[in-house]
Structure 1
Amino acid sequence: MIVVRLDRILADRKMKLSELASEIDITVANLSNLKTGKAKAIRFSTLDAICKALECQPADIIEYTDNES
C-alpha cells in the first residue's frame, strides 16, 4: 500500500496546504486529495514541484507499507 505523508512534511515545515498550493500553482482541492490519499496518481512534475518547495525527497512524501503486516 502506498501512503502519502504530505501532512507530516507540511507540519515539519510549518506550512499550510494553501501556501504550498499557491507556491506550486496547483489547486488546494487537488493537493488535498493527494494529502488525504484520495488521489489515484501523481504527475512527476507535481512531485518535483512539491519536493522543490518543501526541500525534501520523494521518499519523504510517499511511503510503501506492506498491507499484510
Structure 2
Amino acid sequence: MEFNELTTAVAFIGLIAVGVGGMIASDMMATDTILMMVAPSMIVFGAIMLGIGVQYGEYRAMN
C-alpha cells in the first residue's frame, strides 16, 4: 500500500474520529469538553507525530 497525501489524510481523520467518537460514546467527560479540548489536542499531537514519521521515513529511504 502506498501512502500518498489522500491515504494519509483519510487515515489521520479516521483515527481522530474513532478516538473522539469512542470518548463521546463512553461518557468519560462532557461532550463540549471533548470537542473543545481533547479533539484539538489529538489533532495537534497527531500532526506533530505525522511530521516526525514522515521525516524518519525519508531518512530511512535515503540510507
State the TM-score, normalizing by the size of structure 1.
Answer: 0.28
Between Structure 1 and Structure 2, the one with more helix by share is 2
State the TM-score, normalizing by the size of structure 2.
Answer: 0.29
Between Structure 1 and Structure 2, the one with more strand by share is 1
Who wins on radius of gyration, i.e. which is larger? 2
Structure with the bigger RCO (C-alpha within 8 Å, sep 6+) is: 1
